[in-house]
Chains A and B, each alone.
Chain A
Amino acid sequence: MSMEVLTILQVIWSLASYLVMTLALPALLLYRKIKHLRFCERFIAYQMAGNFYMMNLVSVLELLHISNRVTLTLLTILPCAGIYVILYKKKPMEMLQDLFEFLERLAGGQVGTRLFLLRVRVGIWHLLKRGVRALFSRIGRNFIDIVLVTILTAGICYIYGTNLLQHFGYCASDLPVHNYWVNYLGHNKIFVAGIYPFGFHCVIYYLHEVFAIPTYVLLRVFCIVQNLMFHYALLAFARYCCKSKFAPYVGVYIYVFLQVFGESTFLRFFSTLPQEFGMIFILPSIYYLFAFFERKKESEELQKKRQAEEEELLPLSEESIIRIEERGIVKTSVDSQVEEVVEQAAPKRRLFKRTVEEQKIRIPLKEKIKAMTGSAGFWYLAGFAVSFGMTLSAHFYDTMIAGLLCIGIACGYSFRLFRPKYLGKVMLTGIISIFIAILPMLIAFAMGTPLQGSLGWGMKVISGENKEDFVQAAPVQNQESAGDTSANAEGSAGTDLSEGGQQTGGAQNRTETMSDGSFVVHQKSLPEKVISKLKTAVEAFWNVMSVYIILDSYPIFQIFLVGSMVLLALLSLIFFLVRQTDYAARCLSLSAGMVALSILQASDKLGLPTLMDETRTCIFYVYVLVATWSLCVDGVLQLTFGWFKKKWILNTVSLVALAAVAVYGDQAGLMRTPRDTPALQTNEAILCLTNILHDNKDFTWTICSANDELRMGEDYGYHHEVHTFLRDLERKGRTHSVTIPTSKVYFFIEKIPVMYGQAYRGGEPEISAVFADEPLPVGAGISMYQGINRLIEMSKLYEWAQDFAELYPNDVKIYYESDNFVCYCVEQDLYRPFNFAIEDKD
């Protein structure tokens, strides 16, 4: 089988496994309960439920040290079965009894085999017929949607999936670390390298264990799955926010198909990384807040309407209610005779014809829970808690973005949020969601697990303790930015703002030199100061935007970017005026959210604490930006065509708008092509690893290579670092044997070493005897495999392998060789493994 076909099958299997858990299974359980919701809302609900369950199930089992395939599978199937039985009021015992009775009848011959087969055939036929009918009915009703989503899916697969078929290795240097953490979940060691958000790792581990997909395969191909999912989440969110049917596609299509945004905004999508996985939950959390404010208001209005109706009805007459107090509990009952008399005398029908036998004044917990969960707002707040919590479980940066967007919502829905009955609930939900997300981490911390390095660093950055270190850690970015902005460095607001604090207002004055050499200091007025600051802020943002988000080559889209924030604000004003309050609030929320994101994006230039570096912020920025563009288009269309009673007019116009964008993109030559993102591993290395796993029993082999294969094959075999091996040959080999005690040892040698983070000077490097004669690099960590060091290591290993193959011509085989890679396989007798420390030929 070719690697390309294998990769496609792996993608399909990963996607199918993930969809089973985040779509099929939740849909099976929840569909009937939420079928009144729109599909986009149901999709979000399924996604949240599935992911939340996987993350927390793994976390709990890991903390209990009982996580394995059996427990995970059982605790997936049993609760689901339980929920199904409870939600749909099934009677499992009766069903089982029926089944056994039927089997008994079948075994006893009361039901013949032919009849049984006939029933099975008819049952399957009916099921198929119903399924096909339902499918075609849905396709018929949503034909254009299905076509558009299919195009979108194909586009995402093409743009982000092609690279998977060209580069089989990890494209990001931190993936081996994530692989390591996931591997150790298999040993029931969560937080093996310290406390870190493990939501992503839990999901990967769950899929690995339950669906038997090797972790390294998931980390190679899951990026396409998560890309699809967060694009779908974006579409679902836009679909919820917009009133027209096809305007949501506008933003998403621009995002996927047009070559408008800077490379930084999508470069990480080629790797399976936690931050990008967490993007699935950002917009759903915002959706839940929107829905909460909107539906709660609707339910309040409905309740008010009912109350108004109730007021017209007579309540139970006071004289018919009997109260008896027993041991502090007041029992009430109705005196039916008195009630009858009162009722007959009453002019109208009573609302509550209750025959209360016994009623406690203190409402039981169950009733309270029922009342609480029965309210419209509860499930939206729960959804918010779950999705917001999952952003934290996946990656802190996702939470930051979700938090900033929540600030936007606070602006947009300020007229409701700051009412006591909203504010308290929202705040409490936020706290609970964070608590749920960090609970596993808290437990681990309480048990003595330290914070993982990057987490500690993040905390320091947020608290400001690590500001200097952080600035030093990103000198290149600062230099680049400084270079870009050097043209207007003098007098720029950036300078003013950054130095403002120290100059105690000095910079807010303008100094003018007179002809006689004297200086006149002009004191700025307040409006001037404000305008100046605003101008500086806008300039700072513009500079950053043109570097990271939309390059200067696409000025029209740069204008769209800024314009969309303004336009949304204006639209919200108009819609407030025309009493489309929720729509207006959504527009304003997104507009304010975008402003907040803009400030974050330009925080370094604005002299604010840099919570997130620009290269990462821009990813989220664009992600939310395209949603705002969809809303802008929708807002404009709503304003112009929304007044027609016929909804199809608005929908048609939105489809035309989408088509116009597509045509424009094509005509302007903006269509995206797949980007070639080289991996940090050779394709040949992955091919060899895959074959080694296929050919050998577990733990009968060792791979001696540079770094990445260590974690990829950790669960199946052994790994030896090239550097350690060479060091052993040089030092230990002088006096001792150097052995690797497995029956097969594979040596991965890059003839043209991979560029691992550091570029080589000059042309494409190639291993040679000259580099092999260089001393073995001294240092630690990944630096051994970067730049010239990698070249030396590979050259030395190649030279050694040549010498060794000469000594043992029949025991050293070339397992695979290409122009830039060679894998040697040494087969040895474990009763006397080879001493790899061979003497020099000389």
Chain B
Amino acid sequence: MVSRRNFFSITLIMLVVVFMFLVPEVIKNQVNNYGQNRYEESTNTKFTGKSVYTATKTDGKKSGRFVVFIGDNRDGAVGSMVSQWCLYSKRRLLSFKSLRKYQAEPKNLPEAILIDSAYLDFDKELSVLATYAKVGVNLIFCNLPDVKDVSRNPKLRKLLGINAIIDEEIKVEGIRLMDGFLLGGLKEYILDETMEKTQQDLDLEMPWYRISGGAKMFMQGMMEDEVMEEYYMMPEGDVITKNQNLPAVIWRNKYQNAMVFAVNGDYLSTNAGIGILSAMMTEIKDYDIYPVINAQNMVVLNFPDLANENEAEIMERYSRSLPAVNRDVVWPGLVSVAQQNSYKMTCMLIPQLEYEDELEPEGNALVYYMKLFQEQKAETGLSGTHKEDMDISEKLDEDVELLDGVVPEYSLLSFYQGNMSDEELEEALKREKLSKIRTVFADYDKTQDLVSYLGDGIIKQTGINDGYSHKFSENLRMMSIQTSLGYSNIQVDLKKIAFPESDEDSWEKLSRKFAGNTRTYWRRFSKFEKTTLSESNQHIRRFLALDYQQQREGNKLTLDISNFEEEAWFILRTHGEGIKQATGAEFTRIEESAYLITATEPKVQLELEEEQGRYYYFEKDKQP
């Protein structure tokens, strides 16, 4: 028998426990302002498409940031990449389809001449290039002519620092990216036993150039000892000789008074080449400071799907309905990855994919997710993904109707283009509910700009990496873009969960890849800011609008930023120097000799010092 006294105590305790659990939940629900987009503030910027800074001749002369490109700057390959890089690095670009057309002004020589080999007449124009090298104009061969042309042209070989051509075509085992070139350090793109063969997607076939003693290698082919011994008579176990003679991929030679860079492959023919060009400019100079976007996004595409779609297959795979899978399996997994890596998610909502069936999305489910997103500081956007046979305007009408019904005051700021055409997109954005869209997110296209204005008020951002896949070329792309822009977009498409195409599309397998890739490859870039698409939109607007002048006197580096709005971000890359203190800015060390500077005022002063200063000194010197 329970005494009255005990009965009373037990009841009281149970009430207290219930109260304790219920109250926070009630408060959380009350406080959770899920009906409002918390990133609406990020729209507060004066910059529009008209504010984009393009360097003029005067600017180029003043700042010294001026390059000449020999090739077609609208070719969708090397030329487009060079144009894009010049826009981002605030450089003036002069483009000519022939070197002869360029008449250099002696008092306004470019930093470098970038050459698309297809547009160079090697028989006639090499001497002109040599003349430019003599006066100190650096040369960047964005690609190389055919190996036979190189072989029969000793002047070109001397200019490029090619000591010998060991083989006209060799297949290397992998590619090694040297430490200190791109941000992220040393990388070896070579398969090991744990990797799938599809991981290796770099071009491994190349001419085997052996570079001369005075040249410096940034990327080289990797080969097995046996092959080296066969080709190069390498003594057994002589690692140094081996490394000295490995096929050169990216290198630079010192010719006369200039640095001559060469790229043996098509690494500069996509927009992923912009980081390589930035790294080359750093190599040319004592130090380099350039603006960056400073944004790391994680975009969850087509999530959540609110309707109970593809029920049979989902039930078979997960023994529960799609909303339950999304709620109980997928969402915890996403949150876990985001939290572990401190990412902010941008979730591109897709109420349903099948509009023709009778299964409609549940409004309550939307509220549930909106609350969760609010708690996780995630941003909600709308996905334009639709079935090919469906009219996109109908889909958007239904989606908008749902949103208006459930979260009428929520401002949609981001939109995922999905499989919509550009025309469909333009049309779609005219709707009232989508009128506030400021960011359009699109899949990666190697020929398109990574970030650009769509019209005057919308920024287009492209996904740079797929969360489920991280092939070698994708890693190189990511490192290159991080080096140049401090920018990354990881996209995770969850349409595969609702409509799987193979066994590989199950969440447990996809999430393993997603979590592993994110944790492994982005770790070295953790110093960049984690943003949602709306936040990165603001960063991009500021980035595209600004211009800057820098000047160094002794250890003092002064940065004058024009078109400055609250904050601007720069990367400072040096050769063994570090920042001692900064005025008008904050700084973070990304890695050795690389710093992220967050300018909080338009005028920034940095005091530099040796990263590894000497600990011991003479009393007479006083200064350590």
Contact = CB atoms under 8 A, between A and B. Distances in A.
Interface of A: 1-6, 683, 687, 690-691, 694-695, 733, 737, 739, 741, 806-811, 813, 815-816, 827, 829-839
Given A687-B617, A737-B244, 19 more contacts: A1-B616, A1-B617, A2-B618, A3-B616, A691-B616, A737-B213, A739-B244, A741-B239, A741-B240, A809-B286, A816-B614, A831-B243, A833-B240, A833-B244, A835-B213, A836-B213, A837-B213, A838-B214, A839-B212
B283 interface: yes
A3 B186 CA distance: 37
B618 A687 contact: yes
B240 A737 contact: yes
A810 B220 CA distance: 20
B619 A3 contact: yes
A739 B615 contact: no
A687 B615 CA distance: 10
Interface stretch (B172-180, B304-312, B429-437): B172-180
Contacts of B216: 808, 811, 834
A217 to B, nearest CB: 12
A804 to B, nearest CB: 9
B243 A833 contact: yes
A832 B619 contact: no
B584 interface: no
B339 interface: no
18 contacts: A2-B619, A3-B616, A4-B618, A5-B619, A687-B614, A695-B614, A737-B244, A739-B240, A807-B214, A811-B575, A816-B614, A829-B180, A830-B243, A831-B178, A831-B179, A832-B220, A833-B240, A834-B216
B576 A827 contact: yes
Contacts of A3: 616-619
Contacts of B240: 737, 739, 741, 833
Contacts of A829: 178-180, 186, 217
A832 B246 CA distance: 9
Given A807-B254, A810-B575, A839-B212, A832 B618 contact: no
Contacts of A737: 213, 240-241, 244
B92 to A, nearest CB: 25
Contacts of A1: 615-617
CB-based closest 8 A-B pairs:
A835-B213, A810-B575, A2-B619, A807-B214, A691-B614, A832-B217, A4-B619, A807-B254
Contacts of A809: 286
A3 B624 CA distance: 11
Given A4-B619, A691-B614, A694-B615, A832 B244 contact: yes
Contacts of A695: 612, 614-615
Interface string B173-216: 00010111000001000000000000000000000000011101
B617 A835 contact: no
Given A832-B243, A832-B246, A838-B213, A687 B180 contact: no
Nearest to B254: A807
Nearest to A737: B244
Contacts of B616: 1-3, 6, 687, 690-691, 694
Contacts of B212: 839
A810 B176 CA distance: 21
A683 B176 CA distance: 42
Interface string B367-396: 000000000000000000000000000000
A831 B243 CA distance: 6
A741 B242 CA distance: 13
A685 to B, nearest CB: 12
Nearest to B176: A831
Contacts of A690: 616
Contacts of B180: 829
A839 to B, nearest CB: 6
A1 B612 CA distance: 15
A234 B539 CA distance: 80
Contacts of A816: 614
Nearest to A808: B216
Contacts of B244: 737, 739, 832-833, 835
B176 A839 contact: no
Contacts of A687: 614, 616-618
A2 B576 contact: no
B45 to A, nearest CB: 37
Given A737-B241, A737-B244, A810-B283, A683 B618 contact: yes
A2 B617 contact: yes
A123 to B, nearest CB: 41
A687 B239 CA distance: 33
Given A691-B616, A739-B244, A831 B186 contact: yes
Nearest to B593: A810
B214 A839 contact: yes
Nearest to A733: B213
A761 B186 CA distance: 52
Contacts of A6: 616
B472 to A, nearest CB: 17
Nearest to B575: A810
A478 to B, nearest CB: 43
Nearest to A835: B213
Interface string B586-624: 000000000000000000000000001011111100000
Contacts of B576: 813, 827
A811 B612 CA distance: 14
Contacts of A813: 575-576
A714 B214 CA distance: 30
Taking each of A807, A809, A810, A833, which has the highest tally of chain B beta carbons within 10 Å of its own beta carbon? A810
A687 B179 CA distance: 29
B482 to A, nearest CB: 20
Nearest to B622: A2
A712 to B, nearest CB: 15
Contacts of A2: 616-619
A733 B213 CA distance: 9
Interface string B523-563: 00000000000000000000000000000000000000000
Contacts of A808: 216, 254
A838 B283 CA distance: 19
A806 B259 CA distance: 11
A2 B620 CA distance: 9
A741 B239 CA distance: 10
A498 B5 CA distance: 127
Contacts of A827: 576
Nearest to B612: A695
A214 to B, nearest CB: 13
Contacts of B286: 809-810
A739 B239 CA distance: 11
A808 B615 CA distance: 26
A833 B243 CA distance: 8
B281 to A, nearest CB: 12
A683 B618 CA distance: 9
Contacts of B186: 829, 831
Contacts of A836: 213
A691 B213 contact: no
Nearest to B177: A831
Nearest to A827: B576
A473 B575 CA distance: 54
Nearest to A831: B243
Interface in B247-286: 254, 283, 286
Interface string B218-246: 00100000000000000000011101101
Contacts of B213: 733, 737, 835-839
A3 B620 CA distance: 10
Nearest to A803: B214
A811 B214 CA distance: 12
Contacts of A835: 213-214, 244
Contacts of B241: 737
Nearest to A836: B213
Contacts of A683: 618
B219 to A, nearest CB: 10
Contacts of B246: 832
A687 B624 CA distance: 11
